[in-house]
Amino acid sequence: MGPHSLLPGDASVVKGARLRGSTFRRARQFARPYRFHITGFLSAILVSALLGLAPPLLFRSILDTAIPRGDRGLITTLAVVLVLAALGDALFAIVQRWLSSTIGEGLIYDLRVALFDKVQRMPVAFFTRTQTGALISRLNNDVIGAQSAVTSTLGSVVSNVVVLLTTLAAMVVLEWRLTALSLVVLPLFIIPAKRVGVRLGGIAREQMELNAEMNTQMSERFNVAGAIIVKLFGRREREVSTFAGRAAGVRNKGIQSAVYGRVFFVALGFVGAIGAAAIYGIGAHLVVSGDISNGTLVAMATLVARIYQPLTGLTNARVEVITAFVSFDRVFEVLDAPEAVTDRLGAVDLVAPHGEVEFDNVVFRYPAAAEVSIASLESAGVMAGSDPDTDVLRGVTLRVAAGETVAVVGSSGSGKSTMASLVPRLYDVTSGAVRVDGTDVRDLTADTLRDAIGVVMQDPHLFHESIESNLRYARPGATHEEIVAACRAARIDGMISALPDGYSTVVGERGYRMSGGEKQRIAIARMLLKDPAIIVLDEATSHLDNENEALVQEALDAALHGRTAIVIAHRLSTVRDADRIVVLDAGVIAEQGTHDELMGLDGMYAAQVRAGGSFVS
């Protein structure tokens, strides 16, 4: 596998690339578990190359020894040996394929699992900057490209070298003059072959770029949101025209590639024919003069055909090796990406959480791109230094007692959602501390901390699976009865039970088959099934109509009972009954108190309530 294993559009990364020792050493570590398989694979290549020499040498013995002697037994024996050599070659070809597939599929598995695990540990900021398609390609195209470095590319190079050396050795032993003659014509082919290879590489890069544009268009238009935009703006014909243009480019480049490839192999055959003609022409004169035998001539003519193809393959071997190892580089780029949020050494589990939350002089600034992202996975238009160099939260101090409901309100950009994201440690504070039950969240294991926290977002995400599968994500071991109980508490069981497939109903991509209120209540049921001590509601009712808001609010009232809750909201109906309301302004707490206390203060909160009863979100 050559350049096509790279991410479409990224083939240009090969240009100017060099094979670094560090990449080779790390690749060798991944290949280490398969070292015995690799040894067997390379040994099978060697044996196959040696068995490939048997037919011409046996033909020579038949012509020079068995036929002149009239030895029928020897002829039969040599013919049987020929069959056995062919059978052995076939068997070793099967062994090679089995070993290479075992190594290759094993490496693909190892690399994909390592990458998937790494991506799962990346901070939220990584996903806000990364192109999903580019990231998925690392788990597919580049993993396969890395695998090819160990199997296809390594096998091809080793096979070509072994076949070339063993064949040349046999030819030199048989007749060195004819061997030298066969090598004279090589420049006639190798120089043009190298140029054709460069041209084919250029065509491949252009195909990849066009494929990338085509794939990007499909991925953006084939999801629900993209399809709706296309329909609403009536741009179907324009989309088809754009796609057709790109597909035509891929088609035309494919034709060019096919023609160049055919020219390449026709030229290979032509040069091979010239070499064979030279061997037969000059060799025949040597036979007539008695310098060599008939069998030697036939053997040399057979062997000469074996040296041109491996020599051609080795002409572009450097490019193929570098291309394959570039894929390893790109895989390692993800594996080496910084993890902004990790468990500290000695982190402890959060056991039997009470739910007390404390913000202690918290300052937060979103991390720079270099700390959380990989430039090659970002959009071309995103600059590495484009992060705002400002503090989103500035010295926030707040204590939320166990079982207390605190509503956080404020204008857009005041830091409400940022504040909520620090509790489950989606980000780490820049300075200060966030504590749960008196322990800094950075000193708690992330898994047990998040087990204690339930979050319902403004636009809850549902996987393209059944309702029950989405609910069971919160607690895989939950019984069906427990799932139904959670849905009853979330005021959604009746709707689900009325569906033809009930809890087996597939919700569609991102839950698009459900209404906003239904998705919210399913998300609340999922959170209730988790049974957290702390609940974070981030604008959970902001996009609902009055009827749905009433149903969701009723579900939330049941959900919040006996639990600590931090409610990010802007509707007065959502926040007025909270135990305490915190008004956030430009990253600092401007006011706090009950609804009545804040109205009595006649400050920001009171002014906003009188202006319309809601805070701009």
pLDDT at res. 188: 66
Strand order in the sheet with 439-440: 393-400, 357-364, 431-436, 439-440
Q: How confident is the model over 492-502, as pLDDT tens digits?
A: 888 899 999 99
The secondary structure element, H or E, covering residue 277 is helix 236-288
Mean pLDDT by 10 residues, the chain (617 residues): 39 48 77 90 90 90 89 91 92 91 87 87 80 76 76 82 90 86 71 69 72 73 74 78 88 85 74 77 87 88 81 69 75 83 88 93 86 70 54 93 91 87 91 94 92 86 88 90 89 89 86 81 88 86 64 74 85 79 91 91 87 57
pLDDT at res. 548: 66
CA–CA separation, 287 and 201 (whole Å): 45
Bridge partners (DSSP) listed for residue 536 = 455, 566
How many C-beta neighbours within 10 Å does residue 569 have?
Answer: 25
What residue has token string 């206390």? 597
pLDDT at res. 384: 45
Kindly report the pTM of this predicted structure: 0.74
From the list 172, 154, 170, 173, the residue with the least C-alpha distance to 50 is 170
Residue 249 corresponds to which tokens in the numbers above? 């480019």
What residue has token string 């069971």? 472
The helix/strand/coil state of 615 is coil
- 183-192 long-range contacts, CB within 8 A, separation 24+: 183/307, 184/278, 185/271, 185/274, 185/275, 185/278, 186/271, 186/308, 186/311, 188/271, 188/274, 189/267, 189/268, 189/271, 189/308, 189/312, 190/311, 190/312, 190/315, 192/267
> Where do the structural domains in the chain lie, given as residue ranges?
3-335, 350-371+390-452+532-617, 464-531
* DSSP codes of every residue in 334-386: HHTS--SS-PPTT-B---S----EEEEEEEE-PPPHHHH--GGGB-TT--TT-
* DSSP codes of every residue in 117-133: HHHHTS-HHHHHHB-HH
The helix/strand/coil state of 558 is helix
Residues 350-371+390-452+532-617, CATH architecture: 3-Layer(aba) Sandwich (3.40)
- Map 495-506 to HEC letters: HHHHCCCHHHCE
Q: How confident is the model over 429-480, as pLDDT tens digits?
A: 999 999 999 999 999 998 899 999 988 887 788 888 899 999 998 888 899 9
For 125, 259, 372, 428, the CA distances from 341, given in Å and listed in that order, are 10, 53, 10, 7
The identity of residue 21, as a single letter, is: G
Residue 472 backbone dihedrals phi, psi, to 5 degrees: -65, -15
CA-angle at 451, arms to 463 and 580, nearest 5°: 100
Q: DSSP code of 20? A: -
Residues 3-335, CATH architecture: Up-down Bundle (1.20)
How many C-beta neighbours within 10 Å does residue 47 have?
Answer: 17
pLDDT at res. 542: 60
Strand order in the sheet with 580-585: 453-456, 534-538, 564-568, 405-409, 580-585, 588-593
pLDDT at res. 19: 52
What residue has token string 């935009």? 229
CA-angle at 524, arms to 519 and 529, nearest 5°: 125
The helix/strand/coil state of 476 is coil
How far does CA 24 lie from the centroid of its chain?
21
